[in-house]
Amino acid sequence: MPRILPGETDIYALTDSRLSLGRPVAEVARALLDAGVRLIQYREKRLPAGAMLEECRALRRMTREAGACFIVNDHVDIAMLVDADGVHVGQDDLPVPEVRRLVGPERIIGLSTHSPEQARAALAAGADYIGVGPIFATQTKEDVVAPVGFAYLDWVGEHMRLPFVAIGGIKAWNAADVAAHGADCCALVSALVGAEDIGAAVAEVREAIRAGKAARGC
């Protein structure tokens, strides 16, 4: 079971069939994996559970063959049924300790956070990593909270020992700034799955992250 956390890799890709230019999720995932992405989250909000299960089974096979880490958003049951490497939950989903009771000690649990208080609580609850954001305004998620900007990202980089991924409105043109503010890993949705050439988009984002890390002396 690949255990790859944010910071151990630079790009965390999330699926979204609404933004994938009509391409099946498996086709998008294949392009991401071929481009060297090693951390993929399945995040689909409007499909029936059975359809999500089948898509996750396909992605689980693909990511396992590629040595990549596969995370399922929200659906702990589906994550367990397909033997995913982990699950990502939000503030309004099942609490991390309860998720841990279900998935056991080996699977990764990620938790979205939007404030220092939530980050501290995630650490205390036993999350393996946190999402930090949304850094910028984003349209890829419904009921999203207001952007947190760089202030919260700076705080996490200075005060938290948990691995973290910056998320929310991150594109190739602003990824360097996000990395310069302490993010070793950036989560992206539309900038990758909505690109005509996914491989080229991954390369562009990866170079931007590298430049941002260099700017802060990493």
For residue 169, give the nearest of 154, 149, 199 by alpha carbon: 149
Residue pointed to by tokens 């994938």: 20
Decide if 43 is catalytic.
yes
Decide if 18 is catalytic.
no
For residue 187, report the phi and psi dihedrals to the nearest 5 degrees.
-95, 135
Q: What angle do CA 159, 161, 164 make, to 5 degrees?
A: 95
Any idea what DSSP says for residue 6? B
How many secondary structure helices (H) and strands (E) does the chain include?
A: 9, 8
Separation in Å, CA 13 to CA 28, 69, 134, 186, 206: 10, 11, 15, 8, 12
**Active-site pick, 43, 60, 107, 206:** 43
Half-sphere exposure of 59 (CA within 13 A, CB side): 33
- Pairing state between β 11-14 and 186-188: parallel
For residue 39, give the nearest of 200, 184, 214, 207 by alpha carbon: 184
Decide if 17 is catalytic.
no
For residue 41, give the nearest of 113, 102, 89 by alpha carbon: 89
**Which residues are annotated as catalytic?**
43, 112, 141
